[in-house]
Amino acid sequence: MKQALHQFIGLSGLMTSNALRMKIFDRHAWLCRARHCLVAVLSLMACAGSWAEFPDRPIVIIVPYPVGGATDTLSRVVGAKLGELLKTSVVIDNRAGGSGMIGLNAAARLPADGYTMFLGAVSDIAIFAAASANTQPANLERDFTAVAGLASAPHILVVPTSISVNDMEQLIVLLKKSPGAHNFASIGVATLSQLEGTILMQTTGVDIVHVPYRGGAQALQELIVGNTSLMFLSGPNAMPHVRSGRVKILATASEQRLPLLPNVPTMAEAGIKGFSAPNRFGFYAVKDTPPKAIQHLTRALEKVLDDPEVRSRLEQQGMLPKYIAPAEFNRQTAEDFQYFSDLVKRSKIRLE
């Protein structure tokens, strides 16, 4: 009996000890789980807090064109309002040259943190990429993603006042009377102004000779003195000469009339069907930029493009301001790349 009592006491002690250890283990496991949950919650709160404070330093916009042009103006007008909305500084970094490729290559090397955007002229970059014999380090489609579409900047078709035509119908009649006798100026080989002349030939059947110049100033001067018969260029560059009576505007290369030139018909309105020369501009970020950063920028840019003062200032630069969401602008970018690539190949344009 005494021995049985001792065995019972020993067993009871063992059971009590095991139960105590189990309670301690359960408490430890609960504390571990609670600690992990707390860490996760704090991490999420920290992440949310950091994006709530985005941006906490200046944003840089890389512009692949010189100071003073329409593209530079676009970046500064939009950048100023963007900085005001986001309560931060916006720095414009002009990296001109190479049909936009110098700026593109520079932007591609920067961190994907949302603090740098590239202002891309899609047509210029697409045409250069299709015509270039050398592979470039950066590619707009491959290495970047859209933040927002901002505006289009359609070119206009001008002729010297020495040519006795006042509309597109008269111009086409004149050009068809003497195939190969007239020429058109461009700002260089593998540029939008060259491709627009090519599109005009393909859509109307006229035969005109391409004469490339080193930049718009030289090309426009040669047009004014009558050494060339027509040219496509941006509205603001042509307007001083239009007002002075040295050149005439016949049509705009756009789907709708420009607020800057409300009385000038589009190519379609002027009877040129099938003419398409999109000239879109938008902001891009390096691939792998955090989606939260892009969302912050996109929401702000939508408000910027809705501002009446911003819209008015861009319209006076011959632009059609319009916010386009990232997914749609990525689609338009791919579409433009394909369109201009096909056109460059058909036209056998090559940059060596």
pLDDT of residue 51: 57
Angle at 60 between CA 303 and CA 96, to 5 degrees: 110
Peptide bond into 55 cis (omega under 30): yes
Contacts of 320 (CB under 8 A, 6+ apart): 151, 152, 153, 154, 254, 256, 258, 259
97 pLDDT more than 90: no
**Distance from C-alpha of 209 to C-alpha of 196, rounded to nearest angstrom:** 13
- Parallel, antiparallel, or unpaired: how do β-strands 280-286 and 144-152 relate? antiparallel
Q: Please report how many Cα atoms fall inside a 13 Å half-sphere around the Cα of residue 82, on the Cβ side.
A: 29
**Residue pair 340/196 in contact by the 8 Å Cβ criterion:** no
Comparing 26 with 107, the larger pLDDT belongs to: 107
Instruction: Pick the most confident of 3-12, 26-35, 36-45, 166-175.
Output: 166-175
**First-to-last CA distance in the chain?**
108
What are the angstrom distances between the C-alpha of 230 and each of 81, 101, 172?
37, 28, 11
Strand order in the sheet with 183-186: 209-212, 183-186, 230-234, 155-160, 247-252
Q: What value does the mean pLDDT of the chain take? A: 88
Phi and psi angles of residue 32, each rounded to the nearest 5 degrees, phi first: -65, -45
pLDDT digits (tens, 9 = 90+) for 139-155: 999 999 999 999 999 99
The region of weakest confidence among 27-41, 65-79, 106-120 is 27-41
pLDDT digits (tens, 9 = 90+) for 39-62: 444 444 444 445 567 999 999 999
3 pLDDT more than 70: no
Under the banding of pLDDT at 50, 70 and 90, the label for residue 5 is: very low
Would you state the CATH architecture of domain 155-252? 3-Layer(aba) Sandwich (3.40)
pLDDT of residue 36: 54
What kind of fold does domain 59-153+279-347 have according to CATH?
D-Maltodextrin-Binding Protein; domain 2 (3.40.190)
Closest CA to 293 of 108, 54, 85: 54
222 pLDDT more than 50: yes
